[in-house]
Structure 1
Amino acid sequence: MTNHSNSQEADLFTHAFNQNPYPAFHSLQQHAPVHRTLMPDGHYAWIVTRYEDVVTVLKDQRFIKDFTVFLDEESRAQAHQSIFSRNMLFADPPDHKRLRGLVQQAFTPRMIEELRGRITEIANELIDDMQDRSQIDLIDDFAFPLPIIVICEMLGVPSEDRDKFRTWSNTLVEASNDPEKAEKVQQHMQEFTAYLQEWMTSRQENPQDDMISKLIQAEESGDRLSEQELYGVVSLLIIAGHETTVNLISNGMYALMTHPEQMRKLQEQPGLLRPAIEEMLRFEGPVEFSTDRWASETVELQGQTIHRGEHVLVALDAANRDPEAFEDPDVFDITRGRSKHLAFGKGMHFCLGAPLARVEAEVSLQALLERFPDLQLSTDASNLEWRPGILMRGLTELPVRLK
């Protein structure tokens, strides 16, 4: 077995790392770009931090998503009980192509562009509700409701059930961090599954013009989504479809408010909005680590031997600040121009919802900056807390003064 340096061990998965992971990432990039570390759950994983290596892992099909291939039949069947297990994010070819193909039919760029008008209405309604207040939590009052309303409307979730979806989604995202929350996670998952079952049955009997009906009816060369796959796809869309966008909008506004000269530049040159969003995605990307991968065979990477069955995590936010890939990577610069950031991943698992996330960010940031040109943080940036866990990078709240 390769010799592993553990000097960086102490820097990872602490509160300090959570608040600002970039010093630890830079240290790993310099001293141990492919680094085996002990995870909070007691397992070991390889952490990959350099841009080129991250791209290699994301595109190399020897790093697979479905860990159940290493299990015996009984354990495998048990693992697939989870409603979240049967979706394209955790699938490898040929399953991945089939699942993605079926979902893609309900997610075309034209469909997303047609949603722009509705997203603008939602953004303006939320802003109207904030109009008479001097101070708000930008996440609770804006960044969270906007994407959840959009994805729930797309799927056909009744508006009175949105809050349940928010709760379930939060639980799913934070599930992996706290064994003590396991009971609550279990309960929420049961509620979520029961809801989905009832909802899908009603749509099968009475299809509507919404994405859930389209997914039920979608066929790829005579193939349909199984019930378990439908659950997987819907839970993925709800979580990936709003959690990441919440962080994109709030991290983006946080970056602007902590770099007032960039905020002014954007207000003076609204044409910079799209490049500004790409820079937000690079500088403080909403997904810190990509979802789990496993080596399907023994692989050599940067002089390290990753054995079959070993767990591999790629740090997207580290790659996006790799000095070998970006000039002055720790500088937030909305005039940076074309960006090869990896915020949406790379290869066949590239985020299907990227066009939707970009439209939502564009519409919401434009509306906010037009209506509240003097928007600023109402507390010192050092007082803000970043959410625990390594999958998502997002603030717990973002208190701002509107006027």
Structure 2
Amino acid sequence: MALFDDGYTANPHPALAELRQTGPAHRVTSPAGIPFWLVTRWDEARLVLTDPSLSKQQPMDGLPPQLRSALTTQMLLRDPPDHTRLRRLVSAGFTPRRTEALRPRIEQLTDRLLGAFAADAEVDVIDRLAVPLPFEVICELLGIPAAERGPFRAWSDTIIVGGADMSAALAQTVAYFRDLLTRKRVRPADDLLSTLAVIVDDGDRLSDDELVGMALLLVVAGHETTANLIGNTVHLLSRHPSQRSRLRDDPGLVTAVVEEVLRMASPSATSTYRVTTRPITLGDTTIPAGEQVLVSLLAANRDPGRFTDPNTFDPGRPDGGHLAFGHGIHFCLGAPLARMEAQIAVRRLFARHPDLEVTVAPSELRWRTGLLMHGLRSLPIRLEGQRSSSCTPSSPR
């Protein structure tokens, strides 16, 4: 199987396993013709994700100045000490308490979306649940008015996939957030963007560019990865009836189920790019300075050197420790929110529809393209064994 062809998109694991077996890092070329190094083993992946000699900063010289200033000031693309400062300021508004306070609203949104299934015998779970749930949550969290959310899904999808239209989508998104931030400063509300705009830590505060970059990161990465996680979980449970039966009998197992999906079908296929600032040796391979490096989260999370029987879907496995949310100082700030959304969505979906069936063969499933994300574009399911809408999970949260 060729790397990054259509067959790879549908099932990347055989090609990644072959690479992983031959070495920890490989010089490859992206579909856009960009050469980079792909890291495929767990130990080396963890090292790359934490080694300060690999820089996250990208020049982006080809972008217009206003667009470049917003993108290069977001914490995902900064190294310490800039990253340390940005992470501290953003974390002050993105607290565990604020995240947990979203639980009742996430449950309400989930029940509303599932309630709309009632009139249909078959639905696309990606279009009707996996995408709209995290999209609505992140928009409400940031304070994006409902009437203004329409274009965001298309912009986000274009930014993630890349290609000729990506710059235009980035420009539209950044321009929107600049305007929204101006309005929030005049009339603040009880939302994250308003909160972060006024937070001061030891005399320091986020600039407008930094706020716009943070908002862009959250609205794109924040809902795309969670949508993939929900879809991948429903997909894997549909293919493993014994694990689905366990979840039906004990809904509290949803936490272990989601963690195993994060390992086995990471919603992010790779990390974001890093650049070597000095030569770095991984196994028998030395990567020169100035080279682009990506960690294959999909490959690392199925490394048999780290996980027993890694291709087996085993919720609650004793050898956990996936890298789906990264590792080190760039560990995903929104991981607790993504976990909560996926657990609520999956638990409530299977409580209402324990016998749901995917209606297309695995070979006919449509997968997202691009290097970064690993998720389904659609997942049609037949809603057999429906329960009353009043039957919601009652197990402990």
- SS, match of residue 208 in structure 1: coil
User: After superposition, what is the alpha-carbon deviation per residue over 1:340-369, rounded to whole angstroms, capped at 9, x for unaligned?
Assistant: 011101000000000001110111111101
Please state how far the C-alpha of 1:299 moved relative to its aligned partner: 1.6
Match of 2:107 in 1: 120
Point out the more displaced range, 190-199 or 322-331: 190-199
Please state how far the C-alpha of 1:85 moved relative to its aligned partner: 2.8
Please state how far the C-alpha of 1:78 moved relative to its aligned partner: 5.1
1-side partners of 2:368 and 2:130: how far apart? 15
2-side partners of 1:292 and 1:172: how far apart? 15
The amino acid across from 2:82 in the alignment is: D
Q: Name structure 1 gaps, 5 residues minimum.
A: 1-9
User: After superposition, what is the alpha-carbon deviation per residue over 1:11-50, rounded to whole angstroms, capped at 9, x for unaligned?
Assistant: 2111111111111111111113211112222232111100
Alignment partner of 1:12 out of 3, 21, 30:
3
The correspondence of residues 291-306 of structure 1 with structure 2, limited to 5 A, is 291-306=272-287
Match of 1:210 in 2: 191
Match of 1:3 in 2: none
Match of 2:38 in 1: 47
Match of 1:110 in 2: 97
Runs of at least 4 residues of structure 1 off by over 3 A?
74-80
- SS, match of residue 400 in structure 1: strand
Q: For residues 75 and 197 of structure 1, do their structure 2 counterparts lie closer, same or farther at Cα, with a shift above 3 Å needed?
A: closer
The correspondence of residues 155-234 of structure 1 with structure 2, limited to 5 A, is 155-175=142-162, 178=163, 182=164, 184-234=165-215
Match of 1:5 in 2: none
2-side partners of 1:201 and 1:92: how far apart? 28
Match of 2:302 in 1: 321
1-side partners of 2:9 and 2:69: how far apart? 28
Asked if 2 retains the 8 angstrom alpha-carbon contact of 1:193 and 1:231, the reply is yes
Match of 2:377 in 1: 396
Q: Which has the higher helix share?
A: 1
2-side partners of 1:373 and 1:77: how far apart? 51
Asked if 1 retains the 8 angstrom alpha-carbon contact of 2:20 and 2:40, the reply is yes
1-side partners of 2:383 and 2:92: how far apart? 40
Please state how far the C-alpha of 1:117 moved relative to its aligned partner: 0.8
Asked if 2 retains the 8 angstrom alpha-carbon contact of 1:64 and 1:92, the reply is yes
The amino acid across from 2:268 in the alignment is: V
- SS, match of residue 193 in structure 1: helix
Alignment partner of 1:138 out of 116, 122, 125:
125
1-side partners of 2:262 and 2:92: how far apart? 26
2-side partners of 1:263 and 1:319: how far apart? 26
Asked if 2 retains the 8 angstrom alpha-carbon contact of 1:37 and 1:44, the reply is yes
Match of 2:28 in 1: 37
The correspondence of residues 230-245 of structure 1 with structure 2, limited to 5 A, is 230-245=211-226
Match of 1:333 in 2: 314
1:369 paired with 2:350, answer yes
- SS, match of residue 163 in structure 1: coil
Please state how far the C-alpha of 1:113 moved relative to its aligned partner: 1.1
Asked if 2 retains the 8 angstrom alpha-carbon contact of 1:98 and 1:220, the reply is no
Please state how far the C-alpha of 1:269 moved relative to its aligned partner: 2.1
Please state how far the C-alpha of 1:100 moved relative to its aligned partner: 1.0
1:351 paired with 2:338, answer no
Match of 2:390 in 1: none
The alignment-based identity, stated in percent, is 43
Asked if 1 retains the 8 angstrom alpha-carbon contact of 2:272 and 2:294, the reply is yes
Please state how far the C-alpha of 1:92 moved relative to its aligned partner: 0.4
2-side partners of 1:62 and 1:258: how far apart? 42
- SS, match of residue 97 in structure 1: helix
Please state how far the C-alpha of 1:190 moved relative to its aligned partner: 2.9
Q: Name structure 2 gaps, 5 residues minimum.
A: 385-397
The amino acid across from 1:297 in the alignment is: R
RMSD of Structure 2 on Structure 1 (CA): 1.7
Asked if 1 retains the 8 angstrom alpha-carbon contact of 2:24 and 2:282, the reply is no
Asked if 2 retains the 8 angstrom alpha-carbon contact of 1:80 and 1:86, the reply is no
User: After superposition, what is the alpha-carbon deviation per residue over 1:32-84, rounded to whole angstroms, capped at 9, x for unaligned?
Assistant: 3211112222232111100000001001111110033xx9xx77995972633
Q: TM-score if structure 1 supplies the norm length?
A: 0.92
1-side partners of 2:67 and 2:167: how far apart? 15
Q: For residues 32 and 155 of structure 1, do their structure 2 counterparts lie closer, same or farther at Cα, with a shift above 3 Å needed?
A: same
Q: For residues 122 and 80 of structure 1, do their structure 2 counterparts lie closer, same or farther at Cα, with a shift above 3 Å needed?
A: closer
Match of 1:57 in 2: 48
- SS, match of residue 390 in structure 1: coil
